[in-house]
Amino acid sequence: MTRVAVTGGAGRLGASVIDRLIYHGYDVVSFDRVTSDRVRSRQVTVDLLDEHATQAAFAAERPDAVVHLAAIAVPGQLPDPEMYRINTQLVWSVLEATTACGANRMLLASSPTVLGYHAPAGWTPDYLPLDEDHPVAPWNGYSTSKVAMEGIVRMAVRRGDALRLGIFRPCYVIAPEEWEGAPTQQGHTVNERLANPLLSAVALFNYVDARDAGDFVATWITKAHEIPNGETFFVGAPDALATQSTADAIRAHLPAFAEHADSITAHQSMFSSERAERLLGWRASRLWRDNVREPDTTPEPQEALR
């Protein structure tokens, strides 16, 4: 049985990824600084910033594949230099431990924020929907660290590491309990996000169910040797987290993007996951209209984001 190590397994996304990996028949171990009752796999407590401890933990468990989720996950949670240092150091530590223990696959979690939307000086897309070929333009420590993390993975591909490597950029993650009213990562509920479109406009109305993200991870591990090494994927739902059509939501709440609004049809997401569907056969199946309780769709007047 293929053994998969998930770093950051005790986190919001990690617990769902582990659940879906177990569902798909993988032997899973979580590596994190803390343990969680939500995690159904074996859990190893380790400070992944400690390279020697990380290598020892990986050598003891000997995973075949590694899913690297561990990172400071919220922009602004730490000062930018500290955010950058920790996130990039984690990738170096995990990459070297992955190589040393003989694993043959490593998948890195990045972020759509690498594109640079909502930069204080302004940002508009070159086109819509956004895909993996769109230029990146990070503007804070979090998104800059994610670009650097992606760069470390691509470096490993270029230097010829005996690994199959991949990068995925999960959209705004919604955990299963959040459909039932638990607060999302930003502290408000999904219903509040739908009722006040500006809450979702900050992320360009993107989202993905954590279980769909877990299914993507399982699919990538299965097919990593069949696709180009170092490939990057957006991983999101095919629709936007908005009650009105996406084009209308863009015109009302993201007016700077209005010239591209007609490129989006009906409730289509502003982010394309077509590459994941084409190369891996993965498509998100858990949509908000099927999972959330009927929202209050009468928002208070708000000023559009510019």
What topology does CATH give the domain 3-119+130-173+208-238+271-285? Answer: Rossmann fold (3.40.50)
pLDDT of residue 300: 47
The single-letter DSSP state of residue 160 is T
Checking if the pLDDT of 299 tops 90, the result is no
Radius of gyration of the chain (CA): 19
pLDDT value, residue 294: 61
When pLDDT is averaged across residues 21-50 and rounded to a whole number, the result is: 97
- In the chain, where the domains are located: 3-119+130-173+208-238+271-285
Q: Which of 57-61, 89-93, 189-193, 292-296 has the lowest mean pLDDT?
A: 292-296
Which ranges of 70-165 would DSSP assign to H, the alpha helix?
A: 80-101, 141-158
pLDDT beyond 70 at 301: no
The predicted-structure confidence for 237-271, as pLDDT tens digits, reads as follows: 999 999 999 999 999 999 999 999 999 999 999 99
CA torsion sign, 136 to 140 to 142 to 148? positive
Region 89-93: what's the mean pLDDT?
98
Q: What are phi and psi of 68, to 5 degrees?
A: -100, 100
CA dist., res. 36 & res. 282, Å (int): 28
The pLDDT of residue 73 is 86
